């Protein structure tokens, strides 16, 4: 589909890397915000609060990238010109993985998956780039994501895994049952 | 041909600026969230001015989309989104008109309108979020449901052959035909931007999973794939391709160059004025 294919991580300029890094965070801010609102609509307030917290965390990260950019003008690209390894920016939650009755543990598992994807994205650039400055900046961004991964794992340990019947709804949306 | 689209170069709104303050009531996991994201990104990429953009819909889960957008919107009557959109575009050719809805609204209740909208080739973009089910009314089979899809409401399946919307659109004269997958936001955004920019009637079928009544559609993300060949300008070739594919090829299938409605026939301003006067109350 929209994948860029092999060796895409070699060719980032510093500005492109900064733009990609910023957009990853901005998209994640929006994605978590949307999910928080969706969960709020369904009355799953605990998970809504968690997604809201994630959105704020990503917003802080976006600010950090803006600071790192300094005077470099970060102009967003048309959406189809970003070189993501998958269909969407690495920190966007796959909507197909969410459920209105999902537990905080499941939400954090998804968040952890995203942080790992983002880490892998930056690590690949750090590894493949032929430009030392780009490699070093990618390494820095990868380390930030590593920190987020550590936090996710800490938070995950605080929430028990879901019961087998976590998706049982005594009043399911399917009126055909 | 002249493209009639309201694009203003200085408009630098972000995708989020095109979202209204109304929060979607779709089920978490619904593909329509992705479509909303793709549509706002496409509109932002095209720098369309909100006051020159109208989104018209019918009835159904996906037809709620105008409420979630920050532009003019019309949440119309079931199956009648296309006549409304057609009328709006003909009356106000300066507007960019997008018509949106689901497979039930567009292919069943409004099925006949689809044929004639394709024929007329008015410069609008029709986006159908196809989940192969009537989601809002709790999961009845729709015109695109597989004949053997078993459910409480259709035990053993309907046994009825599904509708091929892309083939119908091609046969009826649509000027741009594409299929995308909601979860591919980048690809869908690009296709929508192309469809909106293409003159005439553009038809985009978006495979948009209904995770509540068709949880099996969560697997669509593993089934979709790019087409083996690029788009064609030959509708017959496009129709053959889509009739023989697995239903999961995504991308632009056909780009035509028919004259758009309103340009092929010279308008008689005096006659229109007289006609308008007759109906003045």
- Chain A residues with CB inside 8 Å of B41's CB? 79
pLDDT, position A95? 79
Please state the domain extents for chain B: 15-278
Distance between CA B245 and CA B264 in Å, rounded?
Answer: 34
- Whether the Cβ atoms of residue B209 and residue B182 lie closer than 8 Å to each other: yes
Q: Which domains does chain A have, with CATH numbers?
A: 12-158 (1.20.1260.10)
List B98's β-bridge partners, or say none.
B55, B125
Is residue B211 within 8 angstroms of chain A, CB to CB? yes
CA B14 to each of CA A79, A108, B50, B156: distance values in angstroms, whole numbers, following the listed order: 11, 29, 12, 47
Per-residue pLDDT of chain A (177 residues; tens, 9 = 90+): 444 444 466 689 999 999 999 999 999 999 999 999 999 998 999 999 999 999 999 999 999 999 988 988 888 888 889 998 888 899 888 877 899 999 999 999 999 999 999 999 999 999 999 999 999 999 999 999 999 999 999 999 999 999 999 999 888 765 444
Just give the CATH number of B15-278. Answer: 3.40.50.970
Supply the ipTM of this predicted assembly. 0.85
Hunting for tokens 């801010």 — which residue is that?
A29
Put simply, the answer to whether A35 touches B28 (Cβ < 8 Å) is: yes
Chosen from A20, A41, A78 to mutate, greatest number of chain B CBs within 10 A: A78
- Chain A residues with CB inside 8 Å of B14's CB? 76
Measured in angstroms, the CA of A37 and the nearest CA of chain B are apart by 7
């Amino acid at each position: 589909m929209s994948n860029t294919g092999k060796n895409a991580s070699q060719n980032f300029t510093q500005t492109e890397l900064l733009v990609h890094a910023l957009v990853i965070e901005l998209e994640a801010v929006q994605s978590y915000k949307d999910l928080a609102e969706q969960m709020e609509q369904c009355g799953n307030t605990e998970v809504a609060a968690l997604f809201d917290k994630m959105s704020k965390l990503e917003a802080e990260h976006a600010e950090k990238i803006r600071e790192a950019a300094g005077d470099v003008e970060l102009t967003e690209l048309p959406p189809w010109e970003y070189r993501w390894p998958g269909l969407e920016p690495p920190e966007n939650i796959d909507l197909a993985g969410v459920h209105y009755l999902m537990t905080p543990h499941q939400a954090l598992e998804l968040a952890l998956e995203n942080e790992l994807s983002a880490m892998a994205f930056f690590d690949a650039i750090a590894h493949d780039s032929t430009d030392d400055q780009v490699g070093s900046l990618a390494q820095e961004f990868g380390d930030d994501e590593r920190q987020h991964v550590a936090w996710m794992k800490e938070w995950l340990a605080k929430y028990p895994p879901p019961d087998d019947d976590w998706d049982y709804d005594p009043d399911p949306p399917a009126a055909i049952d | 041909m002249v493209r009639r689209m309201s694009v203003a170069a200085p408009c630098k709104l972000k995708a989020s600026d095109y979202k209204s303050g109304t929060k979607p009531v779709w089920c978490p996991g619904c593909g329509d969230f992705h479509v909303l994201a793709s549509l706002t990104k496409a509109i932002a990429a095209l720098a369309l001015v909100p006051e020159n953009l109208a989104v018209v819909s019918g009835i159904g889960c996906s037809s709620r989309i105008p409420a979630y957008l920050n532009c003019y919107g019309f949440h119309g009557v079931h199956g009648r989104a296309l006549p409304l959109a057609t009328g709006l575009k003909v009356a106000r050719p300066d507007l960019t008109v997008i018509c949106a809805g689901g497979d039930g609204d567009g292919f069943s209740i409004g099925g006949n309108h689809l044929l004639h909208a394709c024929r007329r080739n008015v410069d609008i973009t029709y986006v159908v979020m196809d989940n192969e089910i009537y989601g809002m009314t709790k999961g009845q089979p729709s015109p695109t449901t597989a004949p053997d899809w078993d459910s409480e409401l259709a035990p053993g399946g309907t046994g009825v052959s599904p509708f091929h919307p892309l083939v119908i659109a091609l046969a009826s004269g649509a000027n741009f035909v594409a299929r995308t997958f909601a979860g591919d936001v980048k690809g869908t955004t690009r296709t929508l931007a192309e469809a909106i920019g293409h003159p005439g009637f553009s038809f985009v079928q978006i495979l948009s999973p209904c995770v509540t009544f068709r949880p099996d559609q969560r697997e669509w993300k593993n089934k979709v794939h790019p087409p083996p060949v690029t788009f064609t300008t030959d509708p017959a070739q496009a129709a053959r391709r889509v009739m023989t594919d697995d239903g999961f090829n995504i991308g632009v299938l056909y780009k035509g160059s028919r004259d758009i409605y309103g340009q092929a026939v010279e308008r008689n301003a005096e006659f229109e004025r007289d006609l308008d006067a007759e109906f003045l109350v």
